[in-house]
A = this chain, B = another copy of it.
């Protein structure tokens, strides 16, 4: 090694020792007769000292020439610092350097390499290798490393076998858009990159692997929203001979273990909330349960009093913003503007202030008397000083809008503390969703999800009302993972494809090998997948997954550091039997 110690390990106990360390120049202070250089590596920062009279001229001169981010190696004696620095673990000592070597020079970096930086997002993306030098970014990835190791350890201990499934697989038109890979050896044919190893993990259950896991890259060619990546990592698992309870217990165990080991947080037992309840109480299948503020439906109390907005609404529903009764006109207008934003889409907001004197002041005083408003307040368990916020309209849209308002109020009231974690299982999802565009049902999870056994008879008569044997784990309003008990019976699988409007040929063409496999003794099985990037971001207390990925892509799917994707040469295209067509003008 080009060092005897890292930059993070010297303490008072090392005083008097000869050491060599290597790293990057973090800071230089040149006071004429004395020069201090802070040298940094992954493990910490150590101060070097050069002093006229004590350090030889040549070394002193070299020390004067080093700049920020130079890579240096320094040999010398560990001495006690006069002015100790209790902010860093090595702050009691410094190295009186005898020998200094510049291992590599550095141009002046385009932004400051420190937790606080002057570099904008684009600049840091272009120089990601420098951004990754910053301690706060590297720490995210070190936590990711820890989560990777602990996850595998837990699953291995629980007899899961890690199996690597292939990346060059088959394209299927179902689901999101595939990335495809042209095959040179099989002209005009394409592989697809997996959106998930779903079919392979089910085949492994058919193969008798009993318990499978993999932490694996998956790919989706979707238009990228702010926090989506074309390639992402998931913890992918499957188990045989299990009921839903076994899966929930096992993976509740995993997530609790990770929280305990990595964050020191005890998650407690996870409540089970039905999809129907989650939608009714929070307007979302991934409710943030760090705070209450549950929805209360007010149709019975509000309709028939002549207020046409409520009277014509499918749903009138409200929340109680505790302690916000003193909101000013301006604040209330702000909330109205918030719900009227296009992405929220409400037409307006009705408020009721619960005054300290027991009276009420609302935006609909013209239509409702104090008695009526009081009944609303009672329904919403409001006390004097609280604020009721009420939306009305088409049920689903209104719930969705009120969900956003609830989250906004949660944030304003400081109820969404990033250091607090509240988890739950959401269960009993609908099996199918009606798609207006294609006028057919789509699988809400995927076509292999088993119906709830109690609802089996409704699959042909009333498919929309069938509940799935599916489950999501939700933490702090984030869907961390989800899965289902699978269909292991070919007859039921055929019924499912029928319900989804697949012809026999389509089903055979796309999933023939899985359906064939099911004819040879498929065991009852089920599984789950967790979004690993999301898990890391949650553990790191951040919303964006991007800072938890070493080399992320931007919202155009580009890696601006390596400038990819890029053109390829015509010989390569020819070998692949491809030619380029002109992109349409609109693009």
Secondary structure of the A side of the interface?
loop
Chain A contacts with B in 172-225, Cβ cutoff 8 A: 173, 177-193, 199-200, 203-204, 206-210, 217, 219, 221, 223-224
Q: Chain B nearest CB: distance from A437 CB in Å?
A: 15
What residues of chain B lie closer than 8 Å to A277, measured between beta carbons?
A: none
Are B583 and A577 closer than 8 Å at their CB atoms? yes
Q: A549: nearest residue on chain B (CB-CB)?
A: B164
What residues of chain B lie closer than 8 Å to A187, measured between beta carbons?
A: 583, 587
Are B204 and A550 closer than 8 Å at their CB atoms? yes
A400 within 8 A of B: no
Q: Give the residue among A6, A162, A517, A582 with the most B Cβ atoms within 10 A.
A: A162
Which of B191, B209, B246, B574 is A132 in contact with, Cβ under 8 Å? B209
A369 within 8 A of B: no
Q: A517: nearest residue on chain B (CB-CB)?
A: B129
Are A566 and B243 closer than 8 Å at their CB atoms? no
Identical copies of this chain, number: 2
Which of B73, B130, B513 is A520 in contact with, Cβ under 8 Å? B130
Which one of A101-109, A401-409, A474-482 contacts B? A101-109
Which of B156, B563, B577 is A582 in contact with, Cβ under 8 Å? B577
Compute how far the CA of A581 lies from the CA of B546 in the bound complex, rounded to whole angstroms: 39
Which one of A325-333, A371-379, A424-432, A521-529 contacts B? A521-529
A572 within 8 A of B: yes
Which one of A75-83, A252-260, A554-562 contacts B? A554-562
Are A568 and B190 closer than 8 Å at their CB atoms? yes
Q: Chain B nearest CB: distance from A500 CB in Å?
A: 18
What residues of chain B lie closer than 8 Å to A579, measured between beta carbons?
A: 578-581
| Interface residue count on the A side (C-beta < 8 Å) | 127
Are A104 and B563 closer than 8 Å at their CB atoms? no
A469 within 8 A of B: no
Q: Chain B nearest CB: distance from A398 CB in Å?
A: 34
Q: 7 tightest A-B contacts by CB?
A: A106-B521, A187-B583, A132-B207, A170-B564, A189-B565, A183-B565, A42-B210
- A523 with B103, Cβ < 8 A, contacts A168-B231, A180-B576 known: yes
What residues of chain B lie closer than 8 Å to A243, measured between beta carbons?
A: 1-2
What residues of chain B lie closer than 8 Å to A104, measured between beta carbons?
A: 488-489, 518, 521-524
Are B572 and A191 closer than 8 Å at their CB atoms? no
Chain A contacts with B in 153-168, Cβ cutoff 8 A: 153, 156, 161-168
Task: Give 5 pairs: A residue, B residue, CB < 8 Å, sorted on A.
Answer: A144-B163, A145-B161, A169-B564, A183-B565, A578-B581
- A133 with B550, Cβ < 8 A, contacts A180-B568, A186-B556, A521-B71 known: no
Are A167 and B129 closer than 8 Å at their CB atoms? no
Q: A242: nearest residue on chain B (CB-CB)?
A: B1
Are A179 and B168 closer than 8 Å at their CB atoms? yes
A569 within 8 A of B: yes
Q: Chain B nearest CB: distance from A163 CB in Å?
A: 5
A439 within 8 A of B: no
Are A551 and B166 closer than 8 Å at their CB atoms? yes
What residues of chain B lie closer than 8 Å to A192, measured between beta carbons?
A: 564
A421 within 8 A of B: no
Are B179 and A181 closer than 8 Å at their CB atoms? yes
A152 within 8 A of B: yes
Knowing that A69-B521, A188-B567 are A-B contacts, what are 8 other residue pairs whose CB atoms are under 8 Å apart, sorted by A's residue number?
A1-B243, A103-B488, A103-B523, A104-B518, A127-B520, A169-B559, A171-B572, A578-B580
Instruction: Flag A113-157 by CB within 8 Å of B: 1 or 0 each.
Output: 000000000000001111011000010011011001100110010
Q: A218: nearest residue on chain B (CB-CB)?
A: B167
What residues of chain B lie closer than 8 Å to A6, measured between beta carbons?
A: 210
What residues of chain B lie closer than 8 Å to A246, measured between beta carbons?
A: 1
A282 within 8 A of B: no
Chain A contacts with B in 436-465, Cβ cutoff 8 A: none
What residues of chain B lie closer than 8 Å to A557, measured between beta carbons?
A: 168, 183, 185-186
Compute how far the CA of A138 lies from the CA of B207 in the bound complex, rounded to whole angstroms: 9
Q: Chain B nearest CB: distance from A574 CB in Å?
A: 7
What residues of chain B lie closer than 8 Å to A163, measured between beta carbons?
A: 141, 144-145, 550
Compute how far the CA of A568 lies from the CA of B182 in the bound complex, rounded to whole angstroms: 10
- A519 with B107, Cβ < 8 A, contacts A152-B152, A162-B145, A168-B553 known: yes
Are B562 and A169 closer than 8 Å at their CB atoms? yes
Q: A523: nearest residue on chain B (CB-CB)?
A: B71
Q: Chain B nearest CB: distance from A564 CB in Å?
A: 4
Instruction: Flag A469-499 by CB within 8 Å of B: 1 or 0 each.
Output: 0000000000000000000110000000000
